[in-house]
Copies of this chain bind each other. A is one copy, B any other.
Amino acid sequence: MSDRILYITRKEHFNAAHKLYNPDWTREKNDEVFGKCANDNWHGHNFDLYVTIKGVPNPETGFVMDLKKLGAIIKTTVVDVIDHRNINMDVPFMKDKLASIENLAIGIWDQIEPHLDRGVQLHRVKLWETRNNYVEFFG
């Protein structure tokens, strides 16, 4: 049974402000494309983040990876950096990028991946922005 692959998902969350704004465009173009998401004074969300890894369970622990350790990686590299902050202004790994959830999901992937255990693969980053939309990135 030890060569069977399993997928483990850990859910975390953070609250942050952002706006959608392309500095190469006029105010009017930004309003036309991004609508109320371009509001000068920001808006914000409760983001729900699901991180999925895959691998073969360790026969001694039954674990693909210790979930406490995975949780600590997500907390240190993502939640502590974004939570109760402004994604456009305060988050180093989003500097000079459009603060869309697409770019945020890619950025989160790049924060987490280098820290996983050997033999464990990052499979998916899924990020809910509102109760009506989410993005998924598979690397």
Contact = CB atoms under 8 A, between A and B. Distances in A.
Contacts of A35: 68
A57 to B, nearest CB: 4
23 contacts: A5-B138, A6-B102, A6-B105, A7-B135, A7-B138, A8-B102, A8-B133, A9-B134, A9-B136, A11-B131, A12-B132, A15-B43, A15-B130, A16-B43, A16-B44, A17-B17, A18-B44, A33-B61, A36-B84, A39-B85, A41-B86, A41-B89, A43-B44
Interface residues of A: mostly helix, strand, loop or mixed? mixed
Contacts of A136: 6-9, 52
Interface in A58-116: 60-64, 66-68, 83-86, 89-90, 97-100, 102-103, 105-106
A91 to B, nearest CB: 10
Nearest to A89: B41
A122 interface: no
Contacts of A106: 1, 4, 6
A24 B62 CA distance: 13
